[in-house]
Amino acid sequence: MNILYDPRLDGVLPDVDRPALIEALRQAAPGLTILHEREQLRPYECDGLSAYRTTPLLAVLPERVEQVAAILRTCRDMGVPVVARGAGTGLSGGALPLAQGVLLVMARFKRILDIHPEGRYARVQPGVRNLAISQAAAPHGLYYAPDPSSQIACSIGGNVAENAGGVHCLKYGLTVHNVLKVEMLTIDAEPVTLGSDALDAAGFDLLALFTGSEGMLGVVTEVTVRLLPRPVVAKVLMASFDDVEKAGRAVGDIIAAGIIPGGLEMMDRLSIHAAEDFIHAGYPLDAEAILLCELDGVESDVDEDCTLVRNVLARAGATEVRQARDEAERARFWAGRKNAFPAVGRISPDYYCMDGTIPRRALPGVLQGIAALSEEYGLRVANVFHAGDGNMHPLILFDANRPGELERAEALGGRILELCVEVGGSITGEHGVGREKINQMCAQFNSDEITFFHAVKAAFDEAGLLNPGKNIPTLHRCAEFGAMHVHHGQLPHPELERF
């Protein structure tokens, strides 16, 4: 196995003859919407990671699978890279366009093809919004479990590409655990079915491989997701702590007591204050940290679990435990959490959202480490995250207008991710690697492992035309920037221009 250095994967792309490409696309896919004027392309310059921007060579908005196939064939024949995009809500720059590449916008594939209540699945097009699936399934008492914060806007195709998570993933799993089947097109426009309608499939598990592959292996054209019955009842407890590490330890204690909450979220002092000022959720302003613990299921079971969790929290040193009295209070408790990111946005000109995952038992130590790093770098860090599954979202507060602060924020972010890797964790929990964390991949994996990733990529896309420069770094990059970056903490922005 020997992957040669491919400059295309590192963003050094050949110039494309745009008029010729437009003409070829018009021929191959009559009626296709092609955007190529600068003003038209502006909305497509970035995804949810708006610090990274590139104007694509052109954007195409197909409406039929045959058009997608024609686009892929044309791009393959002309050697033009393709970046697929769903709703553009991703937070790691997975859908960041390439200046010499086509942006394949799948937003018009919005049809829910089939809701099957007995079989408990929904078959949908990739542009369908995450929440729209649950809304369509609601009349049958069913829903789709993974619930990213962006669920009102994000598309299921993008969820598959990034293996999206959410508050309920602790109990109900990530996207990969809730997808039964994916129809996709390869760069050669070959249709391939991954997975099956049954609970297991023969051969290698290409569906799991594909989920989270960030558009590098193929383009999703249809998704079959598992639907779950709505829990009969859900109750939420809010526990206050005078010490953030105590709260971290309480998380492990709850799980160790044999309870898997529907959601188990943590917020520190800075997040609590920001959220309370914004939403008036009723959070305790004197606490150093709070835990929100939602228990769902049948009524008697939930009541029993509430008692059990209250006892665990008391033993763990909670200064106060409150149970939401009614649905309205429960909704307020969650509204504070769900709006914590924009709330933090109100108290700082800019913030940078990290996404590391660590073993639960490492929570207290990593929280301590983040506090020390925050002091070292002179930047505030708000912690608000999915504590139950160890998926942390430290928000680094900075002011991009102050010279050096952006760089310091990025350096601090790199150190935090390094800390996650050191305790046996991962540099991503649910946002993906994308363009953002490509260098940290060099800290997470050794060169043998990265070589494997490239070999797998080549098995699907030998020419490297699908979303080059994302997710998997070249060994060259790791040698040149990677290790150096992670230790010195500089994101190599300059060469972004080459995309």
Of 138 and 152, CB closest to its own copies: 138
Confirm or reject binding of residue 117 to its own copies (CB under 8 A).
yes
**Residue type at 148 in one-letter notation:** P
Confirm or reject binding of residue 177 to its own copies (CB under 8 A).
yes
Confirm or reject binding of residue 143 to its own copies (CB under 8 A).
no
C-alpha 376, offset from chain centre? 28
Confirm or reject binding of residue 200 to its own copies (CB under 8 A).
yes
Nearest approach in angstroms of CB 411 to its own copies is: 20
- Residue from 126, 148, 157, 212 touching its own copies (CB under 8 A): that is 212
Confirm or reject binding of residue 196 to its own copies (CB under 8 A).
yes
Confirm or reject binding of residue 79 to its own copies (CB under 8 A).
no
CA torsion 72-75-77-80 (nearest 10°) is -140
Terminal CA-CA length for the chain: 28
Nearest approach in angstroms of CB 335 to its own copies is: 26
- Applying CB under 8 A, the span of 47-55, 251-259, 374-382, 400-408 interacting with its own copies comes to 251-259
Of 272 and 420, CB closest to its own copies: 420
Confirm or reject binding of residue 246 to its own copies (CB under 8 A).
no
Answer yes or no: are the C-beta atoms of 335 and 262 closer than 8 Å.
Answer: no
Nearest approach in angstroms of CB 25 to its own copies is: 24
Phi, psi (degrees; rounded to nearest 5) at 240: -100, 145
Confirm or reject binding of residue 119 to its own copies (CB under 8 A).
yes
- Residue from 22, 99, 110, 193 touching its own copies (CB under 8 A): that is 193
Of 410 and 436, CB closest to its own copies: 436
> Residue 164 corresponds to which tokens in the numbers above?
């999206």
Phi, psi (degrees; rounded to nearest 5) at 471: 65, -60
Helical H runs in 178-298? 206-210, 244-256, 269-279
Answer yes or no: are the C-beta atoms of 82 and 470 closer than 8 Å.
Answer: no
Using CB under 8 A, count the residues that bind its own copies: 77
Q: By CB under 8 A, what part of segment 381-420 binds its own copies?
A: 389-391, 420
Phi, psi (degrees; rounded to nearest 5) at 44: -105, 10
C-alpha 498, offset from chain centre? 25
Residue 459, C-beta contacts closer than 8 angstroms, at least 6 positions apart: none
> In angstroms, rounded to a whole number, what is the distance separating the alpha carbons of residues 287 and 273?
10
Confirm or reject binding of residue 307 to its own copies (CB under 8 A).
no
Of 51 and 201, CB closest to its own copies: 201
- Residue from 17, 66, 77, 190 touching its own copies (CB under 8 A): that is 190
Write the burial class of residue 131 (CB in 10 Å: 0-12 exposed, 13-18 middle, 19+ buried): middle
Q: By CB under 8 A, what part of segment 213-242 binds its own copies?
A: 213, 229
Confirm or reject binding of residue 437 to its own copies (CB under 8 A).
yes
- Residue from 67, 130, 348, 426 touching its own copies (CB under 8 A): that is 426
C-alpha 396, offset from chain centre? 18
